[in-house]
């Protein structure tokens, strides 16, 4: 396909309106839109295919006009990219134009021509009302048709046309607002089409991003979008992950760090090995996740729909009563134009969409309005310890010398143990080696290492043998007793630490204490959750009870369960629910799946197992525990927006109804006030819930 050609219609700082003849053809509009939206600095893209019009809103401080136009001109849509149905962003303005022209022409036309012009103008609304009545029953379209038709039948042509104009204008603005809420999610629903440079047969070959194969090496340069999930094998770069994780500041990436599809290279160059390609990438999974979310209606949304339908009948009955008592058709028209339905039916799903979008931009994927509704109502949150409150990374906290004959200082003991432990792959061993590396300790020569699986290891060292392992192994198998040092051991264990025991053949040499790395944002997250109304915070751990309780005291948890087997987690959740608690569970492991399903709301961490992520109602895409608090705040805020909108809709429309029944409001005034209320509710829903800026300090990005 040839490059894009365009003609500039309007050019303002930060805004371009272009005419692109290619937009009239299939398979062009959507790829152009997605590609432009992926460009750093582009804030909004609107397309009208029928007018071949493209409007680009951009930030001139981040993206200059000339490079933007150059990129557009060079863009070539991929074959087959137009499989998605192409739609226009702009609702049809023809009914509005027709209505305005009719109102302006009426004074110039003779009476018979006025009737014909009015019928042509309002005919579409009358036909729509009749079709709705036949196929769907009494809905708001029927009331609108009755109101406009009554005015016309009574010869009040100006009233009929002005009422039709106000109703049409309201529908137009409602559709624009609805499309704005859909645009909020567009970038999340489908990643931009990208090209990839792949190493094949010793050469760099450019292929479509969805054709990269698993395990291939990609080369990504400045300004290019990473098309796959993978790991860096070479190079160093700054990567903007905002489209995926919501991080505002680019992050550094080098081997062996992970990168995700949809990120953009800001500076540097990377070679990446692909671990997830095509539909398995993060962005593709996010798209499926959110699409499934939009298809799930919440109890609140279903209730809003039911109440909206009921209030259509309320309006119809009220109009009948007014006519029975007053025989005033003008009042009847005014009553017909009071509509609760639009604001109730559109405001609730729009608020949920806005909440889903805002959550996704904070690294949180929520499976629809029902999950958000349940999250807003929880009062108890249960955390799995490892990988959730901690990072599953051990760190050395204490090095204690028990016999200075072989190691006269902590550094000397740590250097010896690390030199032996570097031959093992156990997390305890790696933590010791990392501690020695951080202190820049020299390697100590030693003999061959004997490794005893699940027990420990030993090696010859300058004529004596060093043994490192568990207390059980050293005491039961090697006959080395640590009873004289029991007070020190008990004190370290009471602090929730894991111990490595070191000895020679003659007796104990020392202890190395290690502890899980507590997440930097753990304490702040728990404090924030309490302010949001979560009054019970619980931790489940497979560690010994005293170790789990030590961490519980540090985090001021309300309840701690230690030595919990994987199959017991769901039972603990169920026990809390039997107490009348509404329980959320946060976990990341394969064995967390049953607990995630048993909880009222399951939340999976970003590095969690695929099974955990599939079982969860909410998945964090950003590795921040504080995102759990963000999710709760967004959910609660969204439900507050919905309640406010509901109360405003019912209250204001009831006041308008009263004015119409009492004859204080004309049909035109009734339509104007109703449409203004509806638009106010929709805009409030579109703005959605806000979150505090506290998490920015936590992230440290």
Helix (H, G, I), strand (E, B) or coil at 221: coil
Q: How many of the other CB atoms lie within 10 Å of CB of 297?
A: 16
Nearest CA among 340, 335, 288 for reference residue 312: 340
Phi and psi at 60, nearest 5°, equal: -65, -15
Q: Where are the alpha helices (DSSP H) in 480-567?
A: 486-494, 522-531, 545-555
Helices 299-326 and 368-376, axial angle in degrees (round to 10): 100
The model's pLDDT over 591-638, given as tens digits with 9 standing for 90+, comes to: 677 788 888 998 988 765 555 566 678 888 777 899 999 999 999 998
CA dist 259 and 270 (Å) reads 10
Q: What confidence tens digit (pLDDT) does each residue in 136-188 have? A: 777 767 777 777 777 777 777 877 788 778 777 767 766 666 665 555 555 55
User: Which pLDDT does position 533 carry in this prediction?
Assistant: 92
399 against 365, higher pLDDT: 399
Q: Which of 516 and 174 is assigned the larger pLDDT?
A: 516
- Cis peptide, bond prior to residue 256, ω within 30 of zero: yes
Query: What is the C-alpha to C-alpha distance for residues 488 and 36, in angstroms, rounded to an integer?
Result: 63
Q: Report the catalytic residues.
A: 384
| Three-class DSSP labels, 369-420 | HHHHHHHHCCCEEEEEHHHHHEEEEEEEEEEEECCCCCCCCHHHHHHHHHHH
Report the C-alpha gap between 684 and 615 in whole angstroms. 33
- Which residues have a Cβ under 8 Å from the Cβ of 347 and sit 6 or more positions away? 304, 642, 645, 646, 649, 681, 682, 684, 685
pLDDT digits (tens, 9 = 90+) for 628-657: 999 999 999 988 988 888 888 888 888 988
Q: Which residues contact 617 (CB under 8 A, 6 or more apart)?
A: 366, 367, 371, 374, 375, 596, 601, 602, 603
Is the pLDDT reported for residue 457 higher than 50? yes
Q: Indicate the SS3 state at residue 527.
A: helix
Q: Give the length of the chain.
A: 701
Place of tokens 């014909």: 116
Q: State CA 572 to chain mean position distance.
A: 28
Please name the residue that has the structure tokens 């969860």: 616
Across the range 234-248, mean pLDDT stands at 68
The domains found in the chain, sorted by start residue, are 7-83 (3.30.1360.40), 94-184+295-352+637-687 (no CATH), 197-280 (2.70.150.10), 392-517 (3.40.1110.10)
**What global pTM score does this model have?**
0.62
Q: 39 or 97: which carries more pLDDT confidence?
A: 97
Would you say residue 368 has pLDDT above 80? no
Are the C-beta atoms of residues 573 and 599 closer than 8 Å to each other? yes
Q: Answer with the residue of higher pLDDT: 324 or 191.
A: 324
| Calpha distance 249→491 (Å, rounded) | 43
Please, which pLDDT band fits residue 431 given cuts at 50, 70 and 90?
A: confident
Distance between CA 47 and CA 20 in Å, rounded?
10
Can you list the pairs that 593-601 forms with residues at least 24 positions away whose Cβ atoms lie under 8 Å? 594/567, 594/569, 594/570, 595/382, 595/384, 595/540, 595/569, 595/570, 597/570, 598/570, 598/573, 598/574, 599/382, 599/573, 600/374, 600/377, 600/378, 601/371, 601/374, 601/375, 601/378
pLDDT of residue 309: 63
133 pLDDT band (50/70/90 cuts)?
Answer: confident
Q: H/E/C letters for each residue in 54-75?
A: EEEEECCCCCCHHHHHHHHHHC
Q: What is the pLDDT of residue 286?
A: 57
In the numeric block, the tokens 């009208």 are attached to 48
pLDDT above 70 for 372: yes
Closest alpha carbon to 196 in 186, 183, 184, 205: 205
């Amino acid at each position: 396909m040839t490059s894009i050609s365009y003609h500039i219609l309007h050019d303002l700082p930060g805004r371009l309106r272009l005419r692109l003849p290619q937009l009239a053809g299939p398979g062009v509009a959507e790829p152009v839109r997605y590609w432009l939206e992926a460009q750093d600095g582009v804030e909004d893209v609107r397309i009208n295919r029928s007018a071949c019009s493209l409007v680009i809103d951009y930030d001139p401080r981040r993206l200059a006009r000339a490079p933007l136009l150059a990129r557009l001109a060079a863009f070539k849509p991929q074959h087959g990219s137009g499989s998605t149905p192409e739609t226009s962003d702009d609702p049809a303005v023809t009914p509005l134009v027709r209505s305005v022209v009719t109102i302006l022409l009426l004074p110039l036309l003779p009476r018979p021509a006025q009737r014909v012009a009015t019928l042509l103008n309002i005919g579409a609304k009358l036909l729509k009302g009749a079709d709705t009545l036949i196929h769907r029953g009494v809905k708001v379209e029927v009331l609108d048709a009755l109101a406009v038709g009554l005015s016309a039948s009574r010869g009040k042509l100006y009233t009929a046309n002005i009422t039709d104009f106000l109703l049409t204008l309201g529908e137009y603005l409602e559709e624009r607002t609805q499309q704005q809420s859909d645009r909020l999610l567009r970038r999340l629903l489908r990643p931009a089409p990208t090209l990839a440079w792949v190493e094949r047969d010793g050469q760099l070959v450019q292929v479509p991003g969805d054709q990269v194969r698993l395990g291939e090496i990609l080369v990504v340069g400045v300004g290019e979008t990473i098309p796959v999930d993978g790991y860096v094998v070479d190079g160093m770069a700054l990567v903007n992950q905002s489209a995926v994780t919501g991080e505002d500041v680019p992050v550094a990436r080098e081997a062996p760090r992970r990168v995700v599809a949809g990120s953009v290279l800001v500076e540097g160059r990377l070679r990446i090995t692909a671990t997830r390609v095509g539909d398995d990438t993060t962005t593709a999974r996010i798209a499926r996740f959110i699409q499934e979310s939009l298809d799930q209606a919440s109890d609140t949304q279903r209730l809003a729909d039911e109440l909206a339908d009921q209030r259509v009948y309320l309006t119809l009955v009220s109009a009948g009563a007014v006519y029975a008592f007053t025989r005033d058709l003008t009042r009847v028209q005014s009553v017909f134009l009071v509509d609760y339905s639009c604001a109730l039916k559109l405001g609730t799903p729009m608020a949920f969409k806005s909440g889903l979008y805002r959550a996704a931009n904070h690294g949180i994927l929520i499976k629809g309005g029902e999950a958000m509704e349940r999250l807003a109502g929880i009062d108890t949150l249960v955390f799995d310890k490892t990988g959730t409150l901690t990072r599953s990374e051990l760190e050395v906290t204490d090095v204690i010398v028990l016999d200075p004959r072989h190691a006269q200082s902590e550094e000397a003991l740590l250097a010896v143990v690390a030199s032996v432990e570097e031959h093992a792959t156990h997390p305890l061993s790696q933590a010791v080696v990392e501690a020695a590396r951080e202190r820049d300790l020299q390697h100590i020569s030693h003999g061959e290492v004997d490794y005893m699986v699940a027990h420990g290891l030993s090696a010859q060292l300058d004529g004596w043998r060093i043994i490192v392992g568990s207390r059980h192994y050293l005491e039961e198998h090697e006959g080395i007793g640590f009873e004289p040092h029991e007070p020190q051991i008990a004190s370290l264990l009471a602090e929730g630490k894991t111990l490595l025991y070191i000895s020679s053949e003659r007796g104990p040499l020392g202890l190395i204490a290690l502890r899980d790395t507590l997440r930097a944002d753990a304490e702040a997250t728990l404090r924030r959750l309490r302010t949001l109304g979560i009054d019970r915070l619980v931790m489940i751990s497979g560690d010994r009870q005293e170790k789990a309780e030590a961490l519980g005291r540090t985090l001021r948890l309300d309840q701690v369960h230690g030595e919990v087997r994987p199959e017991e987690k769901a039972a603990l959740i169920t026990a809390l629910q039997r107490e009348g608690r509404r329980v959320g569970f946060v976990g990341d492991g394969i064995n967390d799946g049953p607990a995630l399903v048993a909880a009222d709301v399951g939340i999976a961490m970003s590095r969690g197992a695929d099974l955990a992520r599939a079982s969860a109602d909410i998945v964090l895409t950003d590795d921040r525990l504080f995102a759990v608090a963000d999710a709760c705040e967004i959910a609660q805020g969204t439900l507050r927006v919905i309640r406010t909108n509901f109360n405003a809709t019912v209250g204001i429309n009831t006041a308008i109804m009263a004015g119409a029944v009492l004859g204080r409001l004309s049909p035109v005034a009734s339509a104007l006030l109703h449409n203004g209320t509806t638009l106010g509710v929709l805009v409030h829903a579109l703005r959605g819930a806000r979150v505090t800026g506290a998490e920015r300090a936590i992230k440290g990005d």
